[in-house]
Amino acid sequence: MYWCARSLYFCSGLILVAAAGNAAAFCQTQQSVKRPEFEVASIRPHANGENGAYVQASEGRLVMANFSLKQLILFAYGVPNNQVSGVRAWMDSNHFDIQATTESTATVRQLEGPMLQTLLRERFQLEVHRDAVERPVYELAVEKGGLKMQLSKEGSCTPYFMGSPRPVPAPNASRPVYCDFPRLTGDGLNWTLDGAGVSIEKLATTLSRSGLDRPVIDRTGLAGGFDLRLKWTADVPENAARSGTTADPTGPSIFTALKEQLGLKLEPAKAPVEILVIDHVTQPSEN
């Protein structure tokens, strides 16, 4: 009875028009639907001597290095920084490396979303639900002096849709630069973000994942894709105590960098935001 009641919560509109016997069968079928998962996957503690974090997803393979569990959750569920509730201290301090593979036709969206979610459920016993609350945010707007970044020229990057398998480069050919795939790298203190054909919406999402204390919402009204490069030093280092890294004394804050390098600004505001609530989590099972 428990499994059927659980299914009724998700599909009551369909079950109400079915006969009693068929409803029970339908519930059982819904519960037996298999979540998308990797064929082979490993999660291991990250070596403390290496500070850089990166992610690579292509051709049925997901590699992530130096991610805390909190960061993995934000990544898997598409939630910006500071929009997850119920984080334990070890979920910020302990960092992990992931190597996972599946069929080569899997899309980046599948690798980084549903499949990673399943892996976190299996290895960390992670259970979550979503909620909506009003919270402080940053609104991304155009600075008074105008934009300092350029619209991408045609042919400067390769269009790619995350719902399709990533194209395989020809033998000996360099990997193409994909449009709207900004690359964020950092050690918790010093950050770099660059990309080609980047939409402002994607820029706001990426900034939200960079250690800011609140999510970023696009209020620029700008359309199209831009070529950009942004370098800054974090005001509140997320990993400094753990990694022993030091800030660049000449590096600008994210607020100054956006103004001087891109012609954008962050303005404090409040807005309804979706948060991810952690209901249950355990230390990982390593393999």
For the stretch 245-281, pLDDT in tens is 555 566 899 999 999 999 999 999 999 988 999 999 9
Nearest to 139 by CA among 261, 228, 270, 254: 270
pLDDT at 246: 55
Q: Does residue 105 lie within any of the structural domains?
A: yes
Which one, of 157, 165, 183, 174, lies nearest residue 110 by Cα?
A: 165
Is residue 224 classed exposed, middle or buried when 0-12, 13-18 and 19+ CB atoms within 10 A define those classes? exposed
> Do 206 and 156 belong to one domain?
yes
Is beta strand 54-58 parallel, antiparallel or unpaired with respect to 61-68?
A: antiparallel
Together in a domain, 154 and 137: yes
Helices (H), 128-227: 200-208
136 occurs within a structural domain = yes
Domain co-membership, 111 together with 18: no
d(CA 216, CA 234): 15
Both 6 and 65 in one domain: the answer is no
- Assess whether 15 and 90 both reside in one domain: no
In a domain, 233, yes or no: yes
What pLDDT, on the 0 to 100 scale, is given for residue 24? 46
**163: in domain:** yes
Amino acid at 172: N
Domain count, the chain: 2
At residue 2, the pLDDT reads 31
The tens digit of pLDDT for each residue in 80-95 reads: 777 889 999 999 889 9
Domain annotation covers residue 188: yes
Q: Evaluate if pTM is beyond 0.75.
A: no
CB 265 within 8 A of CB 218: no
Radius of gyration of the chain (CA): 21
- 11 and 64 share one domain: no
In a domain, 287, yes or no: no
Looking at the fold, whether 19 and 156 belong to one and the same domain comes out as no
Are residue 8 and residue 148 in the same domain, yes or no? no
Q: Give the domain range for residue 118.
A: 40-280
- Which stretches in the chain have pLDDT values below 50? 1-32, 237-243
Same domain, 110 and 25: no
Residues 100 and 166 occupy one common structural domain:
yes
Asked whether residue 127 falls in the same domain as residue 153, the answer is yes
Q: Are residues 151 and 201 in the same domain?
A: yes
**Residue 286 within a domain:** no
